Amino acid sequence: MSFSLGLTGSIGMGKSTTAALFAEAGCAVWDADAAVHRLYDRGGAAVEPIGAAFPQATMSGSVDRTVLKELISNDDAVLKTIEEIVHPLVQADRKSFRAESREDILIFDIPLLFETGAEVEMDAVACVHVPPEIQRERVLARGTMTTDQFEQILAKQMPIADKLARSDYRIETDTLDHARAQVTQVIEDIRRRMPHA
């Protein structure tokens, strides 16, 4: 029996970095954003349905994220349509991962864990957090989104205080060493709670 730990947080608060720390400690990691990348790539299961809804976004045979972001910026309804296509495909990908993994602790890095109801599949949830000004600085420093695109995505996400209140563990991502120490504690706590083989 494995333990499923959902890992969430607001955009740019350190989910992927923290997931890598769990992987370093021997946990298997599934990443929702990476699953979306596979679904959007040439031959991925989202290419055809996204192309049917937004032909201009799949002209190259894969989903063009820049075009998607432009469409989302111009019309709020676009993201909802994309989500209706993508979320069931992402859920199916997660099911296969769970069936194939042999590690005792499985980490599910899911930005929209609570928003999509995925927490019902989890044994516990950990939420990463930093103050909003550091979040903004880190996201804009990546240079992949404009301030407007960042604000628009942020407005679609549940406030971080609500995510933290609904989580079993909180991981502050102010420094790597601090985050690593908290990850070690979470793993120890989970192993204490797990029935021994």
Ligand X SMILES: CC(C)(COP(=O)(O)OP(=O)(O)OC[C@H]1O[C@@H](n2cnc3c(N)ncnc32)[C@H](O)[C@@H]1O)[C@@H](O)C(=O)NCCC(=O)NCCS
Ligand Y SMILES: Nc1ncnc2c1ncn2[C@@H]1O[C@H](COP(=O)(O)OP(=O)(O)OP(=O)(O)O)[C@@H](O)[C@H]1O
Cβ 60 to ligand Y shortest distance, Å: 23
Residues 120-159, interacting with ligand X (CB under 6 A): 144-145, 153, 156-157
Cβ 70 to ligand Y shortest distance, Å: 18
95 DSSP β-pair partners:
none
Residue 136 lies near ligand Y (rule: CB under 6 A): no
Among residues 3 and 40, whose Cβ is nearest to ligand X? 40
Chain residue whose CB lies nearest ligand X: 111
Among residues 144 and 185, whose Cβ is nearest to ligand X? 144
How far CA 145 is from CA of 43, 79, 125, in Å, comes to: 26, 15, 28
Cβ 139 to ligand Y shortest distance, Å: 6
Residues 41-70, interacting with ligand X (CB under 6 A): 65, 68-69
Annotate each residue in 10-39 with x if it binds ligand X (CB under 6 A) or - if it does not, as one string: -x--------------------xx--x---
Residues 15-34, interacting with ligand Y (CB under 6 A): 15-17, 33
- The label of the residue with tokens 């002209």 reads 59
8 Å CB contact between 158 and 8: no
Cβ 125 to ligand Y shortest distance, Å: 15
Residues 161-190, interacting with ligand X (CB under 6 A): none
Question: Which of ligand Y, ligand X, none does residue 157 bind (CB under 5 to 8 Å by kind)?
Answer: ligand X
Token pair belonging to 68: 């998607």
3-class secondary structure for the chain?
CCEEEEEECCCCCCHHHHHHHHHHCCCEEEEHHHHHHHHHCCCCCCHHHHHHHCHHHHCCCCCCHHHHHHHHHHCCHHHHHHHHHHHHHHHHHHHHHHHHCCCCEEEEECCCCCCCCHHHHCCEEEEEECCHHHHHHHHHHHCCCCHHHHHHHHHHCCCHHHHHHCCCEEEECCCHHHHHHHHHHHHHHHHHHCCCC
Residues 57-116, interacting with ligand Y (CB under 6 A): 111
Residues forming the site for ligand X (CB under 6 A): 11, 32-33, 36, 65, 68-69, 72, 79, 82-83, 86-87, 90, 111-112, 144-145, 153, 156-157
